[in-house]
Structure 1
Amino acid sequence: MKQKSYNYINCLPRKRLYFAGGATALATVFALSGTSFAQDAPGKVNNANATQLAPIIVGGQSGDASDNATVAAKKSGGATKINTPVIETPRSVSVVTRKELEERGVQDIVEAVRYSAGVQTGSYGFDPRFDQIYIRGNDVTTDGDYRDGLRQPYMNYAMFRTDPYALDRVEIIKGPVSVLYGAGSPGGIVNKVSKLPTEETIREVGILYGTSDRAQTMFDFSGPVSKDDDSMLYRITGLARKGNTNFDIADDRYLIQPSFTWKPDEATKFTIYGSAQSTTADANVGAMIGPDGNVLNFRDSDPDYDYQKTKQQQIGYQFEHEFDGGFTFRQNLRFSHLDLKARYLSTLGWTGNVANRGATAIGDRMNVFQVDNQLESKFNTGPAAHTMLFGLDYTRMSDSFAYGMDATSSPAYDFDITNPTYGVSGPTPSYNFSRVNASLQQFGAYALDQIELDKWRFTLGGRQTWVKQSTDTTVVSSNTTTDSSLNKSAFSMQAGALYLFDNGIAPFASYSTSFNPVTQRSASGSVLNPAKGEQYELGVKYQPPGTDILLSAVAYHLVEKNKPVLVDPLTGIYASLGEVTNKGIELEARANIADGWDVVAAYAYNHSEITRGDNAGNAPSVTPQNIASLWSNYTFQEDSAAKGLTVGAGIRYTGETYTSTANTAKNDASFYLDAAMSYDFGAIDRKYKGLTASVDVRNIANRRLTVCNEGYCYLGQGRNVTASLKYRW
């Protein structure tokens, strides 16, 4: 495949290097949990035709131990901030439980979500700098990243990273969720739920080795502080990793994550938590485009020169108190700090077969304060039982970004493709091009009513959001500064209805909206219009009572207006794409279909079209029509000669995509095979109980397809193998 050659000074896809990235909002999504729906709801009016309902439970960490033992989570708080059975939630929700994460040997967030319906990964090839994720044709990488119900924001370049070992589960809410969480992508959100203290005693240590020379050690301890008192709980999780991944991309990480829970009485719970993480990756992971326009199997940068070092710290708490009269107050607060330093090489031109490369440097520092206050009330109006939620949230961010580069290429960085040699060194450029100081404040007031009327479930909610953002951009060479400010407000809403049949079938319909005030500027210098989203959704869920099976089929119509696209990377000029319409269907199954046999299956068809503006009638870049996946995992039972052995295999398919909105060239379809195997040595002798060995292989066939996206080209991840040994007692 041939692709036009570009000589960009920065080969980082769609990162906003010269102006503060889209105005982001405080967002909260509470984690999911799992119990069956067989008890009367608190406060429910009893009558002869009343339906047995699950209690609505709200806690600091959603989910319970039963969900960790299945791939089919039964509860979700993401769509309503009220912990509700998934089968009774009139929205499309996917949950990746801890059991599924362990079965598939997940090593990053991209691996965690890629077996979920409507989720696309790999749009920038293998790019471990950021968790690149699309939902329903919309990029949620920067606008849909959440941790424990609070957004992990993005402004200029740097992003908070999350290691899956530190998580209890990952949940995906599809479609607009601005009604509860403020500004963001219409595609949805990905919320990562941290491991927090448990009453169950957990003691786990482990080691891992894999591609390429990737060595890791990890530990996880939790339980009551005192054996005789369960009012104080603790948890501490950590890991240390050194090594590389494919393409000689660094993959070093150090993480420590402590937390403590105090429950002075049955009505009060207070959890304080923190984390400190240091990550080293590479800043330019793109493939080199040769002098004839072909994508080459060479790094555009040099792995010895290149680095992206990120240090991040987070500290926060979750507080909950239940008052008499059916009122519960909750507060979720967090402060986050991030510091990033990066440098890389990129091709500026060619002399015959020699790539003439120059160096670039990036610095980014971000501070974020967030708080979400909620008051929940339960009451009845006649035969209808209400759970009413009122909320006020606030976020404040500040970001300082700097960018520098060599004015010309340096002979020391030349790369001869006929005699490829890596291992160059040299100085880091000063921040001689631009500096950006940006700040953002968001305040939101929201309300949502969740209604139970016989077998009907209704949700109705609205939110008013106010966003204020300012940006000061300095061009260092001319010492000129451009000041800009943004004040926007918007109203968002969400409505849904679901009917729950006794046999576990639940048809539903929903409507939701989103908005995202952007700060990108057009060629005329004016700020682009805010992006807005609107979705209609119709579907059916099926969960046979008493089973660990959850099936869903959904059809949706999702429209985004004024979507910004980068048109000139050298000057940071954007344009509104106009309107993009995504229409599709999604089928998903997460099920334990027999003793020891789990299946996760997903299929999504998405027709994405630019319906207004430039290139109307074309499809957006890297947006496939078809995505499918299947994962099957089987654990041999006690009566089997292979008891203790677990085997798993997966298939992933992504259809062909256009390389740009011009629709002049295509990326090939991708097809990958994954496999996993583990053995519990307790099957040999009970004295080895808790000792487990695992081997996980991703992309067995080692297929490395090229992915080009609006002028930037990347190679897919090759075969990746990890072997681990864990002991839990």
Structure 2
Amino acid sequence: MKFCRDHFPKNRNLLTSTILAGAMATGFTPCVAFAQDATGGTTQLETIVVQGSGKTISEDNDTVVPTRAVSALKTDTPLVETPRSISVVTRKEMEQRGATDMVQATRYSSGVSTGGFGYDPRFDQITIRGIETTESGDFRDGLRQPVMNYGAFTTEIYTLDRVEVLKGPVSVMYGAASAAGIVNKISKLPLKDAHHEIEVQYGTIGRKQAAFDFGGPIGESDELFYRVVGLVRQGESNYDIQDDRYLLQPSFTWEPTDATKFTIYGLAQDTETESSAWTFENDGEIYRVSDPDYDYQKVRQYQLGYQLEHEFDNGLTFRQNARASDLDLRARYADRRTMFSAPAARWPTAAVTDNVHSFQIDNQLQAKFDTGGISHTILAGLDYTGVNSDFADGYGDTLPGEIGSAPSPTLTGFTSNDLRQTGLYAQEQAEIGNWRFVGGLRYDWLHQETRDKVAATGAQKDDGALSGQVGLLYLFDNGLAPYVSYGTSFVPSTQRSANGGVLDPTKGRQIEAGIKYQPDGENYSLSTSVYRLVETGKPQYAGYSAPLFLYENSGENTFTGFEIEGRTTFDNGISLIAAYTYTHGEITGNLDSSIIGNTPTTTPRHMASLWANYTVAEDLIIGGFSIGGGIRATSESFTDDINTAKNAGAVYFDASLSYDFGVKSPDLKGLSLAVSATNLAGRQEQVCNGGYCYFGQGRTVLGSLKYKW
């Protein structure tokens, strides 16, 4: 029996141990998966102005060639002056391509791999530079969305202004975070101008969605602003996998002066999907392991936070950002793999609950000043994160004919995990003529604790982690900017070692060199990078000692790669986004010495993508139309670390078409219609990872009618 996040090979500390224990006790087939837990700091969203461009974050979202990222250094530094690799997906790009989730939003970015675990709406599955980041690289508005056991926060793309992918270690700014980098999702927050939007969608397999986005000044006030985003979605998706969601995201801003700004925001989200997308094959046909009539995963998540910023007269700026988050997960699952070989055999069932509570706060003090010919931007910060997860699981079985009315198994295993992290960090940015220097250090105090509530046993550990980064860039007058950088990372774990203690944190280090090109005032950009990334101390399953499963910090993977990403818009309405990624992954440390030198599972050597969009000039007879098309190609990858079999390479085609009625009919200003399609050829590849296989996403078509005023 298998009830874990089966598509995460590193995944699930206590989930692994408790579920494996239950599986062995009932004779089920266990899954072995590993977990990494992390947390981090925050960053400020609006309304920073891009140096040299005069753009605010809102204006920077109205293009597919952004000039800045709010996440990289937590300061107002243009992309071309930041010595690290960053991909930014703006709201305009998401709408052009008709992206409906985080996977679709990021799949045209260099260094990013999606679909390595098939189609699965339970989680936002994104891999950066060969390392899966869902557990330790998921950030929203600069704050980590923590994962401890099984439950994970998911983000609705309609609630976002942009997505920023930071590649490589960022622990110096964010604390515990993946060695591969983070995906920071920037929420829609209040704007000063009034805006209203209503959208309805209908798509493949009866997908139905309605959404709204209202905001602007409150009454006649020039100090108070609001924004409310809401959405309701119902409908099946591919392979009888449910994808229902209801959410409300209100936010309010008080800006009494140009120097002070306070924003409070909240989120209530209710999602229902399936608890497993795992598959099996019979007589050439592929079936889901779990029965759709029994399977479900219901998640309610709530977030409440604020962002405070005040600029002093002496060049100092203080920011304080905080958020409390709560997640409640209920799921159950049935294993029907014997439905053909033994039709009368009882089907194993499993149930799980996970309650996650977290609080995070980040205090930042920024100073800008000059000394001689050097311009300084110094950022100092103190942040705190506390996360608790209460997890429970249980197992049973049922007859196939009774699956529709079978109850959930009784919960029998109860565990709890706690993580407390306090971080102190400082960063210096210096401009010396055309030179740009960045250096930073951070130290974190960690307290990790895990408890088995049934056995009344547990372990705890107090630890520390030092992180750093350094980067050097030279900005030529023509916008060409070569750079080099080095950074380190850490991710704490709550898994148990053979001596009964908690494992040491997983660590990472990377050296990167690259060239950026983005002339001031031009609508095109190009970035290239080469890197060597090492992740050490990965938790690995080391044996079973009742009632515990044991692990060792013995895993190590090394990735070397090359990436290039280009973006441009032309005056004739054409825009292009192109990316190529080369990744060479190697297992350089493992308990199983026979696989050292092999390639990590589902790590394609080559990935390439191209998206082109054409917006017809308004004065032409077909003015108002916009058409786009894209191609994504991925090379083959290994199905497991043993490297005995491969997933096939694949090529996918996407397309979009939209029409703005207001271009030719002023009375219909604000009304638009769009149709988008992914995987036009309808390829339904089966993707295998670590011994488990999943469906790739089939063809999807979505129509959207939107009205803005």
Corresponding residue of 1:27: 41
1:304 positional shift:
1.9
Deviation of residue 18 (structure 1)? 4.2
Match of 1:439 among 396, 418, 422: 418
Task: Give, in whole Å, the separation in 2 of the partners of 1:9 and 1:392.
Answer: 38
Instruction: Write the distance in 2 (CA, Å) between the matches of 1:566 and 1:645.
Output: 55
Alignment of 1:379-458 (within 5 A): 379-406=369-396, 408=397, 410-412=399-401, 424-432=404-412, 434-458=413-437
**2:353 paired residue number:** 363
What's the counterpart of residue 466 of structure 1?
Answer: 445
Alignment correspondent of 1:237: 229
Tell me if the contact between 1:29 and 1:191 (Cα under 8 Å) persists in the aligned partners.
no
What does 1:261-410 correspond to in 2, within 5 Å? Answer: 261-290=253-282, 296-347=285-336, 349=338, 352=341, 354=343, 357-406=347-396, 408=397, 410=399
Q: Secondary structure at the match of 1:75?
A: coil
Q: Deviation at 1:397?
A: 1.2
The residue identity in structure 1 corresponding to 2:656 is A
Q: Residues of 2 paired with 1:464 and 1:301: CA distance?
A: 45
Letter in 1 for 2:579: A
**Displacement of 1:712:** 1.3
Tell me whether 1:563 sits opposite 2:538 in the alignment.
yes
Q: Distance between the aligned counterparts of 1:379 and 1:92, measured in 2?
A: 27
CA distance in 1, matches of 2:574, 2:360: 42
Residue 548 (structure 1) shift: 1.9
- The CA distance in 2 between the partners of 1:21 and 1:472, in whole Å, is 16
Q: Distance in 2 between matches of 1:481 and 1:18?
A: 18
The residue identity in structure 2 corresponding to 1:658 is: F
1: CA distance, partners of 2:107 / 2:49: 25
Q: Which amino acid aligns with 1:266?
A: D
Please give the secondary structure, in 1, of the residue aligned with 2:94. helix
Aligned to 2:631: 651
Displacement of 1:571 after TM fit? 6.8
Instruction: Provide Cα deviations, 1:571-616, integer angstroms capped at 9, x if missing partner.
Output: 7554545321100100001221333211111100010001233321
Matched residue type, 1:115: Y
The 2-side partners of 1:471 and 1:295 are apart by 44
CA distance in 2, matches of 1:309, 1:560: 33
**Aligned-partner residue type, residue 240 of structure 1:** V
Number of the residue aligned with 2:154:
161
Matched, 1:596 2:573: yes
State the secondary structure of the residue aligned to 1:91. Answer: coil
Equivalent residues of 1:295, 1:706 under 8 A apart:
no
Paired residues in the alignment total 683
Distance 1:69 1:114, change over 3 A: same
SS at 1:223's partner residue? Answer: strand
Equivalent position of 2:22 in the other structure: none
> Structure 1: how far apart are the matches of 2:226 and 2:525?
33
- The percentage of aligned residue pairs carrying the same residue is 48
Deviation at 1:32, TM superposition (A): 8.7
CA shift at 1:8, angstroms?
3.8
Give the whole-Å Cα distance in 2 for the aligned partners of 1:670 and 1:403: 38
Work out whether 1:194 is the aligned partner of 2:173: no
Is 1:674–1:699's contact at 8 Å kept on the other side of the alignment? yes
CA contact (8 A) 1:260 1:271 kept: yes
Distance 2:362 2:368 in 1: 20
User: For the Cα contact (< 8 Å) 2:39–2:145, is it kept in 1?
Assistant: no
Task: Verify: 1:81 aligned to 2:74, yes or no.
Answer: yes
How far apart in 2 are the matches of 1:664 and 1:526?
Answer: 35
Counterpart position of 2:21 = none
Q: Is the 8 A contact 1:18 1:436 kept in 2?
A: no
Q: Post-superposition shift, 1:480?
A: 2.0
Q: Return the alpha-carbon distance in structure 2 between the equivalents of residues 411 and 703 of structure 1.
A: 31
Structure 1: 5+ residue runs without aligned partners?
1-6, 39-53, 58-62, 414-422
Q: 1:250 to 1:350 in 2, by over 3 A?
A: closer
Change (3 A) 1:526 1:351: farther
Report the AA paired with residue 389 of structure 1. Answer: L
SS at match of 2:335: strand
Offset at residue 529 of structure 1 (A): 3.5
Task: Report the secondary structure of 2:620's partner residue.
Answer: coil
TM-score after normalising by structure 1: 0.90
| 1:519 Cα deviation from its structure 2 partner | 2.3
TM-superposition CA deviations, 1:110-161 (whole Å, max 9, x none): 1111110000111110011001111001110110001111111000010111
Quick check: 339-348 or 601-610, which moved more?
339-348
TM-aligned CA deviation for residue 350 of structure 1 = 6.4
Paired AA for residue 447 in structure 2:
K
Matched residue, 1:417: none
CA distance in 1, matches of 2:267, 2:69: 25
Partner of 2:614: 634
Cα–Cα, structure 1 residues 627 and 576, in superposed 2: closer, same or farther, change >3 Å? farther
1:610 pairs with 2:610 = no
Instruction: Please give the alpha-carbon distance, in whole angstroms, between the structure 2 residues aligned to 1:298 and 1:215.
Output: 25
Instruction: Summarize deviations over 1:345-397 as a string: whole Å, max 9, x none.
Output: 12465662637522111101111111000000111221101010000000111
Residues 318-347 of structure 1: CA deviation (Å, up to 9, x unaligned): 001111211111000111111110111124
The CA deviation string for residues 689-726 of structure 1, in whole angstroms up to 9 with x for no partner, is: 11000001011111111111111110101111110100
Match of 2:104 in 1: 111
**Once structures 1 and 2 are overlaid, which stretch shifts more, 393-402 or 70-79?**
70-79
The one-letter amino acid of 1:691's match is L
In structure 1, how many angstroms separate the alpha carbons of the residues matched to 2:508 and 2:144? 19
- Find 2:248's aligned residue among 246, 256, 280: 256
Partner of 1:518: 493
Report the Cα offset of residue 641 of structure 1: 2.2
Q: CA offsets, 1:539-593, max 9 Å, x none? A: 0001122112111011011111112245779975545453211001000012213
Whichever residue aligns with residue 589 of structure 2, its letter is R
Counterpart amino acid of residue 28 in structure 1:
T
The 8 Å contact of residues 35 and 539 in structure 2, kept in 1 or not, is answered as no
Are the counterparts in 2 of residues 496 and 509 from structure 1 also a CA contact under 8 Å? Answer: yes
Match of residue 62, structure 2, among 57, 66, 69: 69
CA contact (8 A) 1:175 1:535 kept: yes
In the superposition, relative to structure 1, how do residues 670 and 701 fare at CA in structure 2: closer, same or farther (>3 Å)?
A: same
In the TM superposition, residue 315 of structure 1 has moved relative to its aligned partner by 0.7
Q: Which runs of 5+ in 2 are unaligned?
A: 18-33
> Could you tell me how far 1:201 is from its partner in structure 2?
1.5
TM-score normalised by structure 2 residue count: 0.93
CA spacing shift, 1:26–1:71, aligned 2, 3 Å: same
2: distance between equivalents of 1:680 and 1:333?
A: 40
* Cα pair 1:33 1:74 within 8 Å, conserved: no
Q: Does 1:668 align with 2:642?
A: no
Q: Which residue of 1 aligns with 2:25?
A: none
| Contact 1:178 1:513 (C-alpha < 8 Å) held by counterparts | yes
1:95 maps onto 2:83 in alignment: no
Distance 1:11 1:627 in 2: 26
Distance 1:32-1:221 versus aligned 2 partners, 3 A rule: closer
- The answer on whether the counterparts of 1:96 and 1:170 sit within 8 Å (CA) in structure 2 is yes
Would you say the 8 A contact 1:29–1:79 is kept in 2? no
SS at match of 1:563: strand
